[in-house]
Each structure stands twice: as structure tokens, then as C-alpha cells.
Structure 1
Amino acid sequence: LRGLKFFATSRPDQDLVEHLQSFQNKQFYHLRQVPVEEADADINAYLNAELPRFQDTPEIKKLVEQAAGLFIYAATVVKYLSKLKFSLSEQMRRINRLLESGVPQSTKETPLLDRLYQQVLFDAVGQFTDDEDEDENIDFTHRLKILHTFLCSAEPISIHVVANLISFSDAPNFTETVAHVLTSLHAVLYTENDKVFSYHKSFTDFIFNENRAKKFWCNPQKFHLLLSRICFNIMNSELRFNIANIQSSFLLDCDNAALPDAIKQNISLVLRYTCHNWVYHLSLANSNKLANTMTNFLKLPVLFWIEAMNLMGSRGLCEYMLRGARKVVMNNTPLEEAFAEAASFALYFSGSAASLSTPHLYISSLATWRKTSGLSWGWKTHFPGIPKFVHSAGGAALMTITTASPVYTIALSSDGKYLVSGSEDR
């Protein structure tokens, strides 16, 4: 349309900048080009509107000076002071704590936000640190893990999922603890549709920088290793054969009216998260410390994982995820080969009609899987009742079904779905 214009605001992401540079008609406006007086006036108006109890007070003036033209600073201050409807005296105490550091010598963004985020975190979790009180240190560690889990999750997750990911035997009512931490971090985190989000990327940048976050720092690689281990523990604990208790292999999943409820009842929210995201955490951990855990996972639970993913409608991700895991273990040849075979099997199943009826993961796909490696042989030994196939290029039998007595006649249904046999015992 003639005259139509788009206005986009963003951090100076290099890919986005390069993309916008390719536009024929464009105009860039950088935040640093805004006169600080204009920014201060906007921040002053914003703080007076959002903090009416302090309208035109010296405290507002000092906060404007301390913001130094950064609106994200002012916005975080407002959330810090007003989100929970604090009393006037509590708001005043919080303002005084923010102002105690004085007007910064530098107007750069990082020092400003660092002081603010440090204060927010101290009020939320830092009060539980006491070198002489072991119990308080445990509380601090728990609360810090909750925060780090929210920030390191592969996707926005709920309080319930976090509570189940980071649960402790000595922490009863842990869901309440997670909820309390989230509430106390209202200035930097918020909930929408039962999922937790961070208000601004500057907060995650702060948390992942050791020099800036100090005792609140999250070591991403180490924490993703922890989450990887947790994912494997949950999958090993909750995944099982026929997890949805499907009674018949003669029905397609879409024709099984009871299946959606069975999936919801038997595949918990935290299991859904771990099934979909264990490779994400594993790849960011980039460690060989879980080699034994992965080896054990591939021996059998990987089949239960493919089963669960198929039930959740995510079978197309299985091969991609397993090949992603393979990249993590490239220096471990046996494990690399095992992941490659598991990925090939996942593709073999997900790309076939067998995936339309989940039980056929075992009785069709596994039964006809041609590989004869130790891994696939091990899979089949767990299911001795599945049909046995002999793959041959000649005229030899392709399949053998063992019966209790001689078979005198067989018949194939017209739709090709059923094979009926007649023998002495039935």
C-alpha cells in the first residue's frame, strides 16, 4: 500500500541490522542519538504516572538521575516497587536501598542495571545467604536453582514443571517455594498463560555473566549439564512400555477414543518437557560426563521415549534429536554409532504406516528392523513375543510365526489388515 510504513524497535542484533540494510527505503534511529534531556523527561513522566505516591518528590528526581536515560531501568524500578502493592513505608525502604549507591559515575547501561538487578536478587534470594547458617545456605541454593531453571529452560515453563525438575527430598511443598521465588522476582519475571517469562534480555545477560552477577551467577554449561541429568532421570523413571495402556494393536491411534485421556493421565507435564528438550540441554552442556547415562538410555528407554513422542504427536522430532545427541558424543565412537542407529530406527518407524498405531513400534517396526548390531539385538531380546523376520534376497521365508500346533489353513482379509490361521488348537 502506498504510504504504508513499518516501525521496528530492537536490540542491535547483527543479523537483523544486516537484513534491514538490504531494504531500499529505510531510516535508522539509534537510542544514543536521543538527547538525554528528552529521555529524562520521558522517564520522569513515566515514574510520576506509575508511582503516584511519590509524584514530583525528591525521590522521583533521584531515580530519574540514576536511570541516566535508560527506560528499562525505570520500568524495572516500577515493577520492583509496585507490582505487589507494597505499603508506602515498604516502597520508601526499597527506594532508599536503590538510592544508597548514589548517582553512578558512568552512564553506561551495564553498571546501572547491574546495581538494580543485584538489589532485586538480594531482596528475592540473597537474604537466605549466611555463611554461619547451613540451612539458610541450602535455601539460597534451592532458590537460585529455581531462578536458573526458569532462565535455562528450552521453552517457557510453568511453576509446576520447574518444581518437578528441581525437586529436593528435604524441601517439602516445593511448588510453594517455586511460587514464592517467582513472586519475589516480580520485577524481572512474569507469568502469562501459566508460563514464566523474563521481561528483558538484559536480565539473562546479567545472570550469565560471572563478573556482573557475582554470587547470583549461572554457569550455563554446568547448569545445562544438571538439567540434562535431570531429564534422563525423569525419563528413566517415568517412561515405560505401553505407557498409555493401549489394549489393542488393531486400532489406529486416531480411532482410539480413550487414547487422548490416557496420554494426558500417563504422560506428565514434566515428562513432556524432558522428552522434548533433553537434547537441547545436552547439546548446551557439551560434556562427556553423561556417557554412561546415555549408554543405558539407548539400551531400552529410548524405545519407550520414541513411543511417548509418537503418542504426543512429535515422532518427527525423534530422528532429528537423536542425531543432535550424536553430535555431542562425536569423540565416543561406540556411543556415536549407537545414536546413529537409534536415529535410523526412529526414522524407519516415523516414516512408515506403523507409526499410525503406536503398538506397532514394537510388533511391526522393531520386528522388521534389519539391523543385527548389539544394540538392536538387545532391543529385540526384551520383546521375545514379537514376530521374527528373516531378511533374504532369495526365496527363503521372510517371516516366521511360532504356533502351538500345526497350521492347516490361512486366509488374508480383503483389506490386507488381518491374517487368520486354522489349526488344531483354534
Structure 2
Amino acid sequence: MSTANQGPPGLGAPGHANKQAHITTKKQPDEIQLIGATLDFNPLPTRPPWPQHKISVSFPSGNMTLQKGFEVTSKITSPFTWNVEGYTPILVDNEMRVVVKETIKGSLEHVFDLATIGSTVKYTRSLKLTFGQSKEAQDALAINLTHASGALASKKSILERMGYARKFLGLVSSFSDAIGDLHPAARIAMGVFDLLYKKLEEQEETNSSILELLNSLLKLLPFVDNADDAVMKLRVTREVVEEMFVHIQKVSDFALKLADGNEIQSIMSSVAEKASKFTVQLTALKEKYDRCIAHETLTAVQEVDIKSSLKLLNPVGISYGSGDGCLEGTREDILTKITEWASLGDSNVFWLHGPAGSGKSTVATTVALKLQRGKGGTFFCKRDSEVQRKAASIIPTLVFRLAKALPAFGRLVALVIEEEGNVGSSIDWQFENLLLGPLKLLEKEKGSIQSHLWVIDALDECYPQTDREMLVQKLCSLQETAPWLKIFITSRPYEHIDSAFKRSTEAVIEMDMKDLEGTSSDIGLFLEDCLNKIAKKQRRVPYNLWLSEKEKGALLHKASNLFVWVSTMQKYLMAALDFKTSLHTILNTESSTKEEFGHLYSLYSTVLGETDDAMFSSNHAFMGKIVTAIVITSRHSALPPDALAFLLNEDLSSIQNVLHNLKAVLHVDGVIRVHHPSFLDFIESNSHPERFHYPNKKLNAKMMERCLKGLSEHLEFNICGLETSYLANKDVQELGFKIQHRISPLLIYSCLYWVEHLQESGELLEEPIKHVIYDFITSPKCFLWLEIFSLLELVSQAISIIDKLKLQQVVNQI
């Protein structure tokens, strides 16, 4: 059995969607042997200090006798090859899991689990696992191939050869994961072959004609020894091997009749002639087999080119997890409607809308989690994510998912990309060339294509607004071309989105979260679940010891049918140091306004107020500065705490204290993010307490100044240490790795957004700040700034930024 790579190429690419490994059988599980593994990991930075790290690989599958894997450190030369000690059988009737863990400076940073979609690694480039047959089958095959080439001289030798051939055919037919659809032919051939073996075993003498016939058959059988599991999975190869089994059955059946004396040679052609006919047929089969292998090898090479082209789509990774879906027993009505529409609905678009916090994203996540693998695609928009808020990322991402599911579509898209050299940034161009054009070429096959479902969540959080409207109109127009493609979209009910749907000539299913049946009871179930979690965290089980039914009803009333209120309350009370006081505050705080989000905004104000008290500080401006800065940066790109500390020129530990006390509304997953975008609305609308207000223009001016300071300090010639400037970015080896380690998130943010901060400052700049701008744009650092755009392949964005800079009055005055 040949080597099989169980991990996809580019295993370490962040955001890459990794597939689970499924090898199943219909009846008995196959048994193969894990032989070893080769781990190739990315090099460390060329400059000291080198971070000490190790990479460990384990196989936690319950169906494997091997529980331990191996680990390597940065001192080991890449690639690292590991050979399994002893006999390690694997029954491949279940999922096989592979877990890669990367540890840096003693703390776990990255985990890749083959069974988890969207998991990524940083230092691991590729992991190749090598398998073989089980030891018993391997030995049987080796013996068979040795004896099958020997000459036939006697009944003893023919029986010996047939015995080995029986084992060989049994081995081939046992690989049901590779040739599952050949089982009927394989079983019939094996059955007839076994009968013939037993018949000859009983006879004292064997007819020479039978020996001649079997000799012709057995001499050709070994050509299948190169039909490993990878080859056997190829469609053309399967067809040839299926024919092979049919001929084995015919030859064995004919020989069996001869052995029984039931075949009258005078009636039919001579045995020699018939044997010759079978030989010709089997020889033709072998030639066809050889041709199809060559064809499939060529196709495989073409597939590599197609995959390379599709990678240019740069799809956005999956950003949701299994814990983000609906609580079991809730939202059953809307989920049933969506399921029925996806299966039987005439319209190809379903629009679910509702206010912030009403549970749209939770419903979208649940729908996405129920998607069959390879039968859909998702895009979850996020306004504080640089890539997830770009409307121009939606079509390429969804096209990439569809291209993986429909190879014919993928080939057509790859041709477009190869011809154009890019995937475009215009929604109109992307739709016409990457989606509609290839779909029209598939139109004749649309009746045979299985239904696919796309999920687009929080469309209102992608920018610019004009692209949202165009995207809605374009997607709605796919009804006639691709009726099998269903598109589920969620958003807030903004007027411009509503108008875009209404302008569509195609029917669109529309549903308002406010109109859903059972919302109050669903909120009640969710509240019950959250209260139990609070009780467990605070070690106050059961919750009815500290919360009466009347108080529970008060909480349900404050939720106002917003799931986000309940989830924020849960986070707030789970982290509360003075639990009784915090609970009392929530129960006795009235709505700050009679509007829809009154109780939610009151809860947010409570969180801010308690954080200020917890810091024993009356410096409300400091709190307001941090919160306002988080909102400002979220419009551009979420930042890690140390980068935010630099831009604000504040102590990192002070900022971390604020973040810790705001866990009910913020979380840090490498960068600072809000739990829910409604908190950003709360701050941007100035609905938060006035003592936490901070002047936006003043803060933008300060952040712009600090961006320029960061650029002046950290920009340098050939920042990525490239060996030559004569290569295009795509031809530079490990450029992505070099960028990741040489260009910090702070430097990237400063490059991309210092002009944005200048715009938002209203140019109310003091003279010292104007001098900072002048010093930067007239220094060689300005050219190094533009080099960053080239490395990031954002030259078009650099041009746009320079155009904005030219319009600034302060620049024209310099």
C-alpha cells in the first residue's frame, strides 16, 4: 500500500478549512497499519531571540491501539521523520483523529484537530502520515506476488498458486473504502474462484487444459499489485477493476465446468482457443488500466493547477463554533421553516431580519452547523474584522466553497482566474465572472446537481453600503440560472437592505424575528439555562435559593425578547466578585429609556459603572478613553492589547485591568473584540453615561500621531529580509511566514489607518502634530511605508489612501 497524505496541503495556513478524515466500510472494518509520519515545519525567524517551541502529534482515536504520538522541538532539523515502533493496526471503520499541538515558551498557543473545522496551526507546514496493509495481509501479498510469477508444472503448483491468488483477491476486494462499489463483482468472483480451488483440491489428476487456462489467468493477475487505495479510488480505475473481476468470474466458472466434466469441448471452441480469448481480453484490460492510470495522473496534475488558482480567491475562514448555535429546544419553529425551504422551497433566497440581539446570528450558526459537508458555504460578517466586513470578500469565499463541492464549477472558475490574474474587488465583476458565468456553463447539468445552501450572516455589518445593496440584487437574480442554490441571509432591517430585496424581480421569503412564534418561551428556556450556569459558577446551586420566581419574572421582562440581554447578564453575574450586590443592581435598575434597547443599554451602563468602581478610580476619562478607542479601532481592525496601549500611550497593565473587568461585554482572543455589536452601537450613539464620554476628534488626532511614531520607529529597508528584489511576491518562498514574523499587527494597522485617523480628527491639530506629519511624508520612511503595501499586496489600497491624504488641508499647507 502506498503512502497517503492524511492532511491537506498548507496545513498551517490560518483560516484554512480542513476536512475530516472518513474511511468507512459497509460490513467489516478494514485494518491498515500506521507506518510512520513526516512533519515539516516552518522555519523560525532568522534573528534571535528564537522562541523555544515544540510540536507534538497525537492520535487520540479510540479505534487505534496507539495512544501516543511524538514531539519535536525547534532544535530538530525539518523535516522530522518518525517511524512507528512495533505493529500498530488501525481499524478504519470510524473517524480517525490527528491532533497537532504547538507550544511556545511553555504555553499552548495553537492546536490543530483533524476533526475540527477551521482549526489552525502556526509553525507546522505539513504533516504526512504513512499507512500500509495490516501485517497479515502484507505478508500474504508479498508471498503471493513471489509465487504468482512461477511456472506451472503440476497440480501441486497450480493449487499453491491458486491459494495465494485467493488471498490476493481477498486482499484487493477487502479494501472497501477504495472499491466499495465493486463488492458485488468482487464477491461473485471470489465465490466462483473458491469453488474451483476446492474442486481441484479434491481431484487426483488435473486436466492439462484447465492448467493452461488458469495459467493464462494467473500470469495476468499480478498487474493489480500497483492498484493501491489512492489509485483504486479513481473513477476510471474502478471501472477497469470491475471488468477484471467479471473476467475472473468467467474464467473460474469455465474452468470449474471443465473440472466437473460438464463442458463438451466438441460443442464449443477448444479450451486453448477459449483460454486465448480470455487472455486477449485480460491483456486488453491491462492496457486499458495502464492508459487510465496515465490519464488520471495527468488529471491530478491539472487539479493541482486548479487548486492553486482557487487559492487566489483567498476565502475567509469559518468563525463560529458548535457552542454558538441555538439552545436545544429553542427556535424550533423558524429552524423548521428554514429546513423545509432549503429542501422544497421555490424561492432561492430567505431573508431573516430583526433588531440587534434578537438571535439572528445564533439561528444562522445553527443552520450552518447542520449543513452537510461539501453541500454549502458560509460567510459571517463582522464589522470589527478587517476581512469579514469587506463585502468584496463574500462572493470569492462562497465561490471557493462551491468550487470545492462541484469540481466542474471549480475548473471553470480557475480558468477565469488564470485568464484575469486576479479575483477583482468589484461586486459586479465578481458576480458576473466568478459566479454567474461559470454557473451558466453548468446550466445544462442543473437538473442533476444536488441542492447547496449558502449562509450569509449579519449582512448589515459588511461595507460599503452600496455593495450590500448590489450583493442582494445579484444573489436574488440566481433563481433561474441555479435553482438548486439556496441562499439564507440575516441582517438588521435597514431601509436600504429592505429596498434592495423589494427591487428584486424574484420571490424572496422574508421573516421578521419579532413575528416568530414562541420567542418568549424560548427566552425563558435560555434564561433558565443561563441561571443554572451562573449558579454552578458561583457555587450557589440551585439558583432558586437566591432568586425568587417573581425576580426571575422581572429578569425575563427586562430581557424584552433580546437574547443578548440574557447572555450579557449571565457573563456579568458569573464574573461578579460581590454577587449579591451585582444581582441587586440588575434587579433594581430601571430602563434608561422607553425605546427598544432601554433595558439592554441600562445593563451596559451597569457593567461600565461597576468596572469603574472595581478599579478604585475616579478618573472616568481614562475609562472613557479606552472604551472609545476600542470602538474607533473596531471600525478599522481589532487590535491586540499591547498595540492599543501603544496607540493610547498608556500602561499595558492598566488597559488589561479594564479589559478584565469588562468581560461581560469584551473578550480577547488575540485581539480585543466585543461580544455583541450592540455594545458598539451603545457607545457610538452616546447612550453610555456622560462621565465616560471622550472626545472622538481629540482621540483620533492622538492615535494618528502615535501611528506615525510607530511607523518612524519600526519601518526599515527590506523589512522581511528578502534575498532579492527581482522576484514577484508569489515567487518568494515563505513570504507569508516572513510577513507574520517581521511586520507586527501594530505596524500593519498604522500603515493602513493613520490617514483615516487624520480624517476623523477633523484636522483640529496642534502645531507639534503637524510637524510630525511633515517629518514623516518628507522622509525616506515614507517610501518604506509604501513597501509594506507591496508586501501585503495592497497597492490599490495604498493609491486610495494617498488620494485621501492629498485632500487633507494640513498636507496642502505643508
* TM-score of Structure 1 vs Structure 2, range by shorter chain: 0.5 to 0.7
Q: Which runs of 5+ in 2 are unaligned?
A: 1-342, 354-490, 536-542
Partner AA of 2:352 in structure 1: A
1:212–1:253: structure 2 CA closer, same or farther, 3 Å change rule?
Answer: closer
Q: 1:41 aligns with which of 507, 521, 524?
A: 521
TM-score by length of 2: 0.35
More displaced stretch, 200-209 vs 21-30: 21-30
1:307–1:188: structure 2 CA closer, same or farther, 3 Å change rule?
Answer: same
Separation in 1 of the partners of 2:649 and 2:614?
Answer: 21
Separation in 2 of the partners of 1:34 and 1:143?
Answer: 39
C-alpha distance after superposition, 1:71-115 (max 9, x if no partner): 332222122223x4x57xx4333211111225x496522432231
Separation in 1 of the partners of 2:722 and 2:497?
Answer: 49
1:112–1:317: structure 2 CA closer, same or farther, 3 Å change rule?
Answer: same
Partner AA of 2:595 in structure 1: K
Classify the secondary structure of the residue corresponding to 1:112.
Answer: helix
C-alpha distance after superposition, 1:1-60 (max 9, x if no partner): 85156242332222211112224424554455569xx54433222111111133564332
Equivalent residue, structure 1, for 2:598: 111
Residue 17 (structure 1) aligned with residue 498 (structure 2): yes
Classify the secondary structure of the residue corresponding to 1:6.
Answer: strand
Q: 1:268 aligns with which of 712, 729, 744?
A: 744
Residue 72 (structure 1) aligned with residue 564 (structure 2): yes
Partner AA of 2:507 in structure 1: N
- Give the drift of 1:203: 1.4
Classify the secondary structure of the residue corresponding to 1:65.
Answer: helix
1:267–1:20: structure 2 CA closer, same or farther, 3 Å change rule?
Answer: same
Separation in 2 of the partners of 1:257 and 1:34?
Answer: 53
Residue 182 (structure 1) aligned with residue 659 (structure 2): yes
1:58–1:269: structure 2 CA closer, same or farther, 3 Å change rule?
Answer: same
Classify the secondary structure of the residue corresponding to 1:197.
Answer: strand
Residue 302 (structure 1) aligned with residue 790 (structure 2): no
Residue 61 (structure 1) aligned with residue 540 (structure 2): no
Separation in 1 of the partners of 2:646 and 2:713?
Answer: 13
- Give the drift of 1:116: 0.8
Residue 233 (structure 1) aligned with residue 709 (structure 2): yes
Classify the secondary structure of the residue corresponding to 1:66.
Answer: helix
Residue 152 (structure 1) aligned with residue 628 (structure 2): no
Equivalent residue, structure 1, for 2:791: 311
Classify the secondary structure of the residue corresponding to 1:123.
Answer: helix
Equivalent residue, structure 1, for 2:772: 293
Classify the secondary structure of the residue corresponding to 1:108.
Answer: coil
Residue 3 (structure 1) aligned with residue 345 (structure 2): yes
Classify the secondary structure of the residue corresponding to 2:667.
Answer: strand
Equivalent residue, structure 1, for 2:587: 99
Looking at CA atoms only, which structure, 1 or 2, has the larger radius of gyration?
2
Partner AA of 2:807 in structure 1: K
Is contact 1:223–1:285 with CA below 8 Å preserved after alignment?
yes
Separation in 2 of the partners of 1:130 and 1:105?
Answer: 24
Partner AA of 2:604 in structure 1: Y
1:182–1:244: structure 2 CA closer, same or farther, 3 Å change rule?
Answer: same
Separation in 2 of the partners of 1:21 and 1:272?
Answer: 40
Is contact 1:208–1:217 with CA below 8 Å preserved after alignment?
no
Equivalent residue runs for 1:328-339 within 5 Å: 328-329=808-809, 333-335=812-814
C-alpha distance after superposition, 1:143-166 (max 9, x if no partner): 443332222111122223223323
Is contact 1:232–1:293 with CA below 8 Å preserved after alignment?
yes
Separation in 2 of the partners of 1:180 and 1:227?
Answer: 21
Separation in 2 of the partners of 1:21 and 1:157?
Answer: 38
Separation in 2 of the partners of 1:247 and 1:332?
Answer: 36
Residue 124 (structure 1) aligned with residue 606 (structure 2): no
1:280–1:333: structure 2 CA closer, same or farther, 3 Å change rule?
Answer: closer
1:141–1:238: structure 2 CA closer, same or farther, 3 Å change rule?
Answer: farther
Classify the secondary structure of the residue corresponding to 2:788.
Answer: helix
Is contact 1:188–1:203 with CA below 8 Å preserved after alignment?
yes
1:259–1:122: structure 2 CA closer, same or farther, 3 Å change rule?
Answer: same
- Give the drift of 1:261: 5.9
- Give the drift of 1:121: 0.8
Q: 2:678 aligns with which of 202, 214, 225?
A: 202
C-alpha distance after superposition, 1:174-225 (max 9, x if no partner): 1x44333223222212344x23322333211221233543122243333222
- Give the drift of 1:334: 4.7
Separation in 2 of the partners of 1:287 and 1:148?
Answer: 19
C-alpha distance after superposition, 1:228-281 (max 9, x if no partner): 122112112222334345565566666665866654454322112111222222
Separation in 2 of the partners of 1:272 and 1:106?
Answer: 41
Separation in 1 of the partners of 2:741 and 2:516?
Answer: 55
Separation in 2 of the partners of 1:112 and 1:119?
Answer: 10
Is contact 1:286–1:328 with CA below 8 Å preserved after alignment?
no
TM-score by length of 1: 0.63
Partner AA of 1:22 in structure 2: R
Partner AA of 2:572 in structure 1: Y
Equivalent residue, structure 2, for 1:371: none
Partner AA of 2:666 in structure 1: L
Separation in 2 of the partners of 1:111 and 1:263?
Answer: 45
Partner AA of 1:305 in structure 2: W
Is contact 1:243–1:266 with CA below 8 Å preserved after alignment?
yes
Is contact 1:190–1:197 with CA below 8 Å preserved after alignment?
yes
C-alpha distance after superposition, 1:292-342 (max 9, x if no partner): 33222210221120123223333332211111222333x76455xxxxxxx
1:66–1:262: structure 2 CA closer, same or farther, 3 Å change rule?
Answer: closer
Is contact 2:559–2:565 with CA below 8 Å preserved after alignment?
yes
Is contact 1:182–1:189 with CA below 8 Å preserved after alignment?
yes
Classify the secondary structure of the residue corresponding to 2:689.
Answer: helix
Of Structure 1 and Structure 2, the greater strand share is in 2
Query: How many percent identity over aligned positions?
Result: 21
Classify the secondary structure of the residue corresponding to 1:125.
Answer: helix
Classify the secondary structure of the residue corresponding to 1:8.
Answer: strand
1:282–1:73: structure 2 CA closer, same or farther, 3 Å change rule?
Answer: same
Equivalent residue, structure 2, for 1:327: 807
Classify the secondary structure of the residue corresponding to 2:672.
Answer: strand
More displaced stretch, 111-120 vs 195-204: 195-204
CA RMSD of superposed structures (Å): 3.2
Is contact 2:350–2:509 with CA below 8 Å preserved after alignment?
no
Residue 166 (structure 1) aligned with residue 166 (structure 2): no
1:219–1:14: structure 2 CA closer, same or farther, 3 Å change rule?
Answer: farther
Classify the secondary structure of the residue corresponding to 2:673.
Answer: strand
Separation in 1 of the partners of 2:753 and 2:711?
Answer: 11
Q: Which runs of 5+ in 1 are unaligned?
A: 132-136, 336-426
Separation in 1 of the partners of 2:615 and 2:660?
Answer: 16
Is contact 1:206–1:213 with CA below 8 Å preserved after alignment?
no
State the number of aligned residues: 314
Classify the secondary structure of the residue corresponding to 2:604.
Answer: helix
- Give the drift of 1:118: 0.9
Partner AA of 2:793 in structure 1: G
Partner AA of 1:116 in structure 2: L
1:260–1:62: structure 2 CA closer, same or farther, 3 Å change rule?
Answer: closer
Is contact 2:665–2:675 with CA below 8 Å preserved after alignment?
yes
Is contact 2:524–2:556 with CA below 8 Å preserved after alignment?
yes
Separation in 2 of the partners of 1:105 and 1:39?
Answer: 24
